[in-house]
Structure 1
Amino acid sequence: MSFIAYYYHWSQEEVMALGHAERRRWCDEISAVNRGQSLSANREKSILEWKL
């Protein structure tokens, strides 16, 4: 829920109004966009390369 609300700025009520399958679909869509942006910015980093 938080994942969708964060990226789309939807309220808890809006996200909860979606069915479980629809929430999963939105999460998949957001993840695909994020993967595409990471790949276009060169390559995806391994978690071992992240600087915290």
Structure 2
Amino acid sequence: MTYAADLLYEEVAYLAYHFHWPLDDLLDLEHPERLKFVAQVARLNGQ
């Protein structure tokens, strides 16, 4: 099963916006690790 492309784009765009990491680095993250970063950024932003 593959992760839905639209959700992947959402996560990557969110992290790229906040971290300014290269696309390849963001795509190399395993899904659970990427979700942890998304959660932490959201927490820091009060979301």
Gaps of 5+ in 1: 39-52
| Number of residue pairs matched by the alignment | 36
Aligned to 1:27: 38
Please point out which of 11, 16, 37 is paired with 2:22.
Answer: 11
Gaps of 5+ in 2: 1-11
User: Taking CA–CA contacts closer than 8 Å with sequence separation of 6 or more, which of the two structures ends up with the larger relative contact order?
Assistant: 2
Q: Looking at CA atoms only, which structure, 1 or 2, has the larger radius of gyration?
A: 1
Superposition RMSD in Å: 1.3
Q: Report the secondary structure of 1:10's partner residue.
A: coil
Identity over the aligned pairs, expressed in percent? 25
Structure ranking higher in helix proportion: 2
